[in-house]
A and B are shown apart, each in its own frame.
Chain A
Amino acid sequence: MTGATSVPAPTRRPLGVPDLCLVVLVGATGSGKSTFAARHFKPTEVLSSDFCRGLVSDDENDQSASGDAFEVLHYIAAKRLAAGRRTVVDATNVQPEARAQLVKLAREHDVLPVAVVLDLPEEVCAERNAARADRAGMPRRVIQRHQRELRRSLRHLEREGFRKVHVLKGVEQVEAAEIVTERRFNDLRHLAGPFDIVGDIHGCRSELETLLARLGYEVEYDALGRAVDARHPQGRTAVFVGDLVDRGPDSPGVLRLVMGMTAAGHGLCVPGNHENKLGRYLKGRKVQHSHGLAETVAQLEGEDEAFRGEVAAFIEGLVSHYVLDGGALVVCHAGLPEKYHGRTSGRVRSFALYGDTTGETDEFGLPVRYPWAEEYRGRAAVVYGHTPTPRASWLNNTICLDTGCVFGGRMTALRWPERELVDVPAEQVWYEPAKPLASEAPGGADGRPLDLGDVAGRRVVETRHMGRVAVKEENAAAALEVMSRFAVDPRLLPYLPPTMAPCATSKEDGYLEHPAEAFASYRADGVREVVCEEKHMGSRAVVLVCRDEAAARERFGAAAGVSGAVCTRTGRPFFDDPAVTEQVLKSVREAVESAGLWAELADPAAAGSGHWLLLDAELLPWSLKASGLLRGQYAAVGAASGAAFPGALDALEAAAARGVEVPDLLARQRERAVDAAAFTEAYRRYCWPVDGLDGVRLAPFQILAAPGRSLAAVPHDEQLAWLDRLVEHDGTGLLRRTGRLVVDTEDEASVAAGVRWWLDLTAAGGEGMVVKPLGALVRKGDGRLVQPGVKCRGREYLRIIYGPEYTRPENLDRLRVRHLGHKRSLALREYALGLEALDRLADGEPLWRVHEAVFAVLALESEPVDPRL
């Protein structure tokens, strides 16, 4: 690693210094430390005690300021080291106490302490001090004392904790010194892969060969038919997360293959705790032959001494973790928090090998592990193994690839940067697990109560469809209040609907929104088939309906008498009276039952705890939920305008009759009066009285999920066919059908028919329509999600949004200036979060994981965005 720069001249003396470490200069006053530091390091890397003395006291030589000065120095050094910057301490450091503090500082930041000693003759030091005005008066005995202390220290530096010690004796050696920056062993940022990261193997050689073949590697065999190397034709690199050995049938075979691959440069490997223990055994240390080591030891008996030696050397040379791909990827065995990435210390190694253990053991005798990944917020993806889980899944940009192959699970690999999972099943149960696999999914066992840490503060939610979605602190704070005070039990709230953007603003005369824009934008996104769905003017409702109370209790922890939930878009119960909710659920349940949809939609494997469906719907009439808004705002405006115009028009007409010049004003007021009346008509259409459930209508437009399945990606024609069956089988008159029309965005006639359909729908008083890609979950050519739907609201309906007089040309012109960007982005982010919640629900993930995504939707809803869009 040294000598990477130019070849040193014979007089040059190279000193290796890692690129991240704490360099401690040691030398008497006048020994030239500052000059040395200035010559070999960047000015910002060097922290001088003299300078700090000046900072706090205006006098670099004021020894009484030393205490404060060193506090400042240590503080700055700590900040630099925390940020991963090499730091050089320019102080005499001749006393062990001074050095001990610096060694401690280095350890606290998991970097190596390095000592560079400048041991110069007393005469030279005295001469140099004499040449400096501010030090000319320094007594000779100070130098002598420094020199005595320095000499006494020399032998102990390594024992004090310095991992490298460079001693430069005399002026020539100092002059000849040249600092050579060394890369840390764990720093492989320059390698960009692509990589195939392989989870825990535990002696399952055969599955490993199968997995490598699945990944496209060509396995090479030696004369005895043993796999000794594997090479990817496209030059990909395999990365092993450790735990190659123990428990399984052929640990030596796995070692031979992995050692071959790393030696040939086709693979990288980090150590697991099992390698660590095997290494200690091979070195002759006394270790317990528990947790599968006995099998490995027995298998190694069949190998020769040379192989055992190679294994020992291989293990000895393993580096605790690697930072790869420009810092975007960290691979280690048991996980690693961000502050340990690229660091070098005993505790970093220990964490990388064992994870965050609490020191306790559970009832199976296994160490209790702290779920570090739950708190991980780092930028680099951390790929690890160690903890067997039934399924590999991302959590806060970390993923555990140990899917328990040796216990009869699967062996899993992750393709990077593609982030694709590839796995092969175990050929058999090779080793009985000490405890059941299922209970240790990342994030702990199912049923852990929700914790504030799952939702509060600034957060990033990992979504499979859109990557990381951020939630701001103030939005989370608002959501916390609503979720805590008004929402239904989070267990009954596995989903909240995303907001929906309107189509682009129309330039058509008299229109603000027009379907031509919706068709055009989907065509531009490469979406050919879209479905226009009638937009029911009511209030959004998410309906969770279980087949019976037992299913609701079993799957969602519902209380007695509760068989589901009907929630608003912010998670509040739709009806104040739980009995009305149950009545709605009963009607829906009977329709599902009679249409035979329970079994048809569920994943049979997941329906064991009972059947349920999650529906996205509109509940009508609007006046049912919005009566406060209606009376306070909409009807009020109708009442005020209705009262104001007759008098105004009478007065103007009387003035006109007298011959006063008011014709323009009169004409304009007449038009305004007509607009106001049209506004009143517009909101009235969506109001009708209800009595209990009498008059209430539910228009479902998507079935979101069923046991074990997210149905959000099912094409809309299939969805609507299910929903039609539901409506047909509804005996109570509660359910309402959704009108629809499929449009081909490439076909002019079809687009024209779509526009006509909308015009007819809105002329008859409809709110408008939603245009969705027929394929539901669709991506653009560049891989990004397209809007799951855009709304085109009717001309009359928009009076309720933009005011009675919005259609007047001078108003329309100004209203056309509206900014859709934020709304569109918000709609997509909320959509991705909603999909994520459904996927997590389908995968049977713990409540907090589902709730995290649902909560994030609510939080995003509190972002400032034009509410009229």
Chain B
Amino acid sequence: MTTTGSAERPATDLGFLLHKHPGKAQAFSTAHGTAHVFYPEADDSRCTAALLLEVDPVALVRRARGKGRGGAPDSALAQYVNDRPYAASSLLAVALSTVFASAMKGQCKARPELPAQPLPLHVALPAVPARGGAGLVRRLFEPLGWTVRAEPVPLDETFPEWGDSRYVRLGLEGERTVADALRHLYVLLPVLDDAKHYWVSPDEVDKLLRAGEGWLEDHPEQKLIADRYLARRRTLTRDALERLELARLAEADDTAAEEIDNAVEESADTEERPVPLAVRRRETILGVLREAKAARVLDLGCGPGQLLGELLKEGQFTDIVGMDVSMRALQEARRRLRLDRMPERQSERLRLVQGSLAYTDARLKGYDAAVLSEVVEHVDPPRLSALEYAVFGAARPRTVVVTTPNVEYNVRWESLPAGHVRHGDHRFEWTRAEFRAWAGEVAGRHGYEVEFRPVGPDDPEVGPPTQLAYFRQAEPASARTPAAPATPAPADSPAKEAQA
């Protein structure tokens, strides 16, 4: 941090403001290493104070690796190959607040008039991790009156094709008080990094309000700052917004917090947009299941359980199984459906199990219907035959409902670049003809009849956004079902022997 001055107002006043003598090098021990303060230059016209945080990399890793409460929230900290010793992160922010505590509060016993005076300041940080790049750095600092210089650091000049790293070389210039500058950095460095080395506790809200006093209230990126500063803990975010909201009530009457809260909930929904398509899909599936008079239903690949929630609402479905291969998805489903707080009569209708359609599974036998909603496109084509056998050959529910995107419709998505699939994990997306061909062969091989239904607006040219196949077991039971033994048991069958 550099300031300029003159004989009347010497630049070395910076030493008083920071409570650190320009003639000395001082060391302060912090939780993750030693913070050194020294002055590379100090005369009346120009004074630079430098803070160098010497992180102990081994201690950092060892501390981060503890389990549960002992460990760090940021799993990257447990890596020995770690940018923390070099980048300006929350470690530096904490060091700033420790070493320059009085300066940050705007206190100066020796020269009480000094802290309130804005100074011409220049702040330089060589490596600031910025999720959002130089653009976000500007959006965060410029509204605070800083002239921002943010140059991206290339990842590796030997491999220019790798592009830029997430670090920027940051320079800030402006007329601000030292306290403001420190508080801006204290809040915005971890926000740019979007990570913290410590667990965020409820008093973090107070810290943010304290350090943000006087500038955060009107910051255009206030929501992003609060979100990231509080490490995306939703309940805390809401808490902070409401309290900021209360602080602003003196000035304006606003009720936006609730809506923002809703948006947070909604954005946690993993379904692709527009959301009405997901709703439309569930409606169509439910319609088919009602029509099929299914009572015992499998939701194979249930994800976070949106369809399960709808199934539970209808008494017709007496026995519902949600299966997914991802434990995380099941955990999310359990949380979203509030399974642990559900009345017993309702919760006993539902079972969540981990399973995989790459394997046959005896637990899936004897159901009325199975739904595979947006599942097949997540399976590599060479392994579709295993899925086919597991569902149609082994589990053999009376009814099977399969939905999958119609790739022809993709041209109607404005946000989707040409040739892109709708979701990063889609292994393929089928045209209507491809889907019908596959479904027809499956039905033929396993003794089902199949019909197709559109989901969403049926575009005359490219068809509906989602396509649905409704399989019903052909009557009478096909020859594929294992025939009952026709021959009588031989004389030495155990049934007879057992009685002997």
Say if the beta carbon of A44 comes within 8 Å of chain B. no
Say if the beta carbon of B340 comes within 8 Å of chain A. no
Q: Would you call the interface of chain B mostly helix, strand, loop, or mixed?
A: mixed
Are A640 and B79 within 8 A (Cβ)? no
Are A489 and B382 within 8 A (Cβ)? yes
Q: Which of B161-169, B209-217, B304-312 interfaces with chain A? A: B161-169
- Ordered by A's residue number, 15 sampled pairs between the chains whose C-beta atoms are within 8 Å are A280-B500, A291-B492, A359-B485, A359-B489, A360-B485, A365-B490, A451-B361, A451-B362, A456-B354, A559-B382, A636-B155, A647-B126, A651-B38, A658-B39, A665-B52
Contact string, B469-500, partner A, CB cutoff 8 A, digits 1/0?
00000000000000011010111111101111
How far does the Cβ of A638 sit from chain B's closest Cβ, in whole Å? 6
Say if the beta carbon of A46 comes within 8 Å of chain B. no
Interface bracket on B: 35 or more
Q: In the assembled complex, which residues on chain B have CB atoms less than 8 Å from the CB atom of A661?
A: 24-25
How far does the Cβ of B51 sit from chain A's closest Cβ, in whole Å? 10
Contact string, A761-797, partner B, CB cutoff 8 A, digits 1/0?
0000000000000000000000000000000000000
Within 8 A of B (CB), among A474-500: 477-478, 480-481, 483-485, 488-490
Q: In the assembled complex, which residues on chain A have CB atoms less than 8 Å from the CB atom of B495?
A: 359
Say if the beta carbon of B279 comes within 8 Å of chain A. no
Choose from A357, A640, A805 the contact partner of B129 (Cβ within 8 Å).
A640
Choose from B124, B485, B491 the contact partner of A290 (Cβ within 8 Å).
B491
Are A803 and B80 within 8 A (Cβ)? yes
Q: Which of B8-16, B82-90, B182-190, B447-455 interfaces with chain A? A: B82-90
Counting from the closest, the 8 A-B pairs by CB-CB distance are A654-B40, A803-B80, A354-B494, A484-B356, A639-B165, A288-B491, A360-B485, A640-B86
Are A651 and B52 within 8 A (Cβ)? yes
How far does the Cβ of B442 sit from chain A's closest Cβ, in whole Å? 15
Q: In the assembled complex, which residues on chain A have CB atoms less than 8 Å from the CB atom of B498?
A: 346-347, 349-350
Say if the beta carbon of B48 comes within 8 Å of chain A. yes
How far does the Cβ of A343 sit from chain B's closest Cβ, in whole Å? 15
Contact string, A649-684, partner B, CB cutoff 8 A, digits 1/0?
011111100101110010011000000100110001
Say if the beta carbon of B326 comes within 8 Å of chain A. yes
Are B127 and A640 within 8 A (Cβ)? yes
How far does the Cβ of A736 sit from chain B's closest Cβ, in whole Å? 22
Q: In the assembled complex, which residues on chain A have CB atoms less than 8 Å from the CB atom of B124?
A: 647
Given contacts A287-B491, A640-B127, contact A484 B358 (CB under 8 A): yes
Q: Which of A1-9, A170-178, A627-635, A832-840 interfaces with chain B? A: A627-635
Closest to B390 in A: A449
Say if the beta carbon of B295 comes within 8 Å of chain A. no
How far does the Cβ of A336 sit from chain B's closest Cβ, in whole Å? 14
Say if the beta carbon of A637 comes within 8 Å of chain B. yes
Are B83 and A637 within 8 A (Cβ)? yes
Say if the beta carbon of B156 comes within 8 Å of chain A. yes
Q: In the assembled complex, which residues on chain A have CB atoms less than 8 Å from the CB atom of B490?
A: 288, 290-291, 361, 365, 367
Say if the beta carbon of B426 comes within 8 Å of chain A. no
Choose from A290, A365, A478, A660 the contact partner of B24 (Cβ within 8 Å).
A660
State the CA gap A152–B82 with chains docked (Å).
86
Given contacts A359-B485, A660-B23, contact A450 B127 (CB under 8 A): no
Say if the beta carbon of A646 comes within 8 Å of chain B. yes
Are A454 and B359 within 8 A (Cβ)? yes
Given contacts A449-B360, A634-B81, A665-B36, contact A480 B497 (CB under 8 A): no
Are A452 and B360 within 8 A (Cβ)? yes
Closest to A356 in B: B494
**What is the interface of chain B, defined by CB distance below 8 A to chain A?**
23-25, 36, 38-42, 48, 50, 52, 54, 57-58, 61-62, 76, 79-83, 85-87, 124, 126-127, 129, 153-156, 158-159, 161-162, 165-167, 169, 325-327, 354-363, 378, 380, 382-383, 386, 389-390, 393-394, 484-485, 487, 489-495, 497-500
State the CA gap A684–B158 with chains docked (Å).
8
Say if the beta carbon of A599 comes within 8 Å of chain B. no
How far does the Cβ of B384 sit from chain A's closest Cβ, in whole Å? 10
Are B25 and A660 within 8 A (Cβ)? yes
Say if the beta carbon of A801 comes within 8 Å of chain B. yes
Are A655 and B25 within 8 A (Cβ)? yes
How far does the Cβ of B137 sit from chain A's closest Cβ, in whole Å? 14
Closest to A629 in B: B81
Choose from B86, B360, B494 the contact partner of A451 (Cβ within 8 Å).
B360
New A-B contacts (11) at CB < 8 Å, excluding given A346-B499, A803-B81: A276-B492, A481-B356, A483-B356, A635-B159, A636-B167, A637-B86, A639-B155, A640-B129, A651-B50, A652-B40, A802-B81
Are B360 and A650 within 8 A (Cβ)? no
Say if the beta carbon of A238 comes within 8 Å of chain B. no
Are B359 and A658 within 8 A (Cβ)? no
Q: In the assembled complex, which residues on chain A have CB atoms less than 8 Å from the CB atom of B36?
A: 662, 665
Choose from A291, A633, A645, A658 the contact partner of B42 (Cβ within 8 Å).
A658
Give the one of B57, B86, B362 with max A CB within 10 A: B86
Give the one of A276, A661, A665, A668 with max B CB within 10 A: A665
Given contacts A359-B489, A477-B327, contact A648 B360 (CB under 8 A): no
Say if the beta carbon of A644 comes within 8 Å of chain B. yes
State the CA gap A523–B383 with chains docked (Å).
47
State the CA gap A452–B361 with chains docked (Å).
5
Contact string, A96-134, partner B, CB cutoff 8 A, digits 1/0?
000000000000000000000000000000000000000
Are B86 and A676 within 8 A (Cβ)? yes
Contact string, A425-462, partner B, CB cutoff 8 A, digits 1/0?
00000000000000000000000011111111000000
Say if the beta carbon of A277 comes within 8 Å of chain B. yes
**What is the interface of chain A, defined by CB distance below 8 A to chain B?**
273, 276-277, 280, 287-288, 290-291, 346-347, 349-350, 353-354, 357, 359-361, 365, 367-368, 449-456, 477-478, 480-481, 483-485, 488-490, 559, 562, 630-631, 633-648, 650-655, 658, 660-662, 665, 668-669, 676, 679-680, 684, 687, 689, 800-806, 811, 814-815, 868
Given contacts A452-B355, A647-B126, contact A481 B327 (CB under 8 A): yes
Q: In the assembled complex, which residues on chain B have CB atoms less than 8 Å from the CB atom of A650?
A: 40
State the CA gap A201–B345 with chains docked (Å).
59
How far does the Cβ of A97 sit from chain B's closest Cβ, in whole Å? 24
Closest to A346 in B: B498
State the CA gap A422–B361 with chains docked (Å).
38
State the CA gap A652–B39 with chains docked (Å).
8
Given contacts A640-B127, A660-B38, contact A635 B165 (CB under 8 A): yes
Choose from A349, A360, A801 the contact partner of B80 (Cβ within 8 Å).
A801
Are B356 and A644 within 8 A (Cβ)? no
Q: In the assembled complex, which residues on chain A have CB atoms less than 8 Å from the CB atom of B156?
A: 635, 638-639, 680, 684
Are B489 and A652 within 8 A (Cβ)? no
How far does the Cβ of B385 sit from chain A's closest Cβ, in whole Å? 9
How far does the Cβ of B32 sit from chain A's closest Cβ, in whole Å? 14
Are B52 and A814 within 8 A (Cβ)? no
Are A637 and B361 within 8 A (Cβ)? no
Choose from A288, A640, A651, A668 the contact partner of B48 (Cβ within 8 Å).
A651
Are B52 and A480 within 8 A (Cβ)? no
Choose from B42, B154, B380, B492 the contact partner of A273 (Cβ within 8 Å).
B492
Q: In the assembled complex, which residues on chain A have CB atoms less than 8 Å from the CB atom of B52?
A: 648, 651-652, 665, 669
Are A868 and B327 within 8 A (Cβ)? no
Are A485 and B165 within 8 A (Cβ)? no
Given contacts A477-B354, A687-B159, contact A452 B359 (CB under 8 A): yes
State the CA gap A660–B41 with chains docked (Å).
10
State the CA gap A852–B359 with chains docked (Å).
12
Are B81 and A637 within 8 A (Cβ)? yes
Closest to A481 in B: B325
State the CA gap A405–B312 with chains docked (Å).
59
Q: In the assembled complex, which residues on chain A have CB atoms less than 8 Å from the CB atom of B485?
A: 359-361, 368
State the CA gap A665–B382 with chains docked (Å).
60
Are A367 and B489 within 8 A (Cβ)? yes
Are A643 and B153 within 8 A (Cβ)? yes
Q: In the assembled complex, which residues on chain A have CB atoms less than 8 Å from the CB atom of B494?
A: 350, 353-354, 357, 367
Are A868 and B38 within 8 A (Cβ)? no
How far does the Cβ of B41 sit from chain A's closest Cβ, in whole Å? 6
Choose from A288, A291, A644, A660 the contact partner of B86 (Cβ within 8 Å).
A644
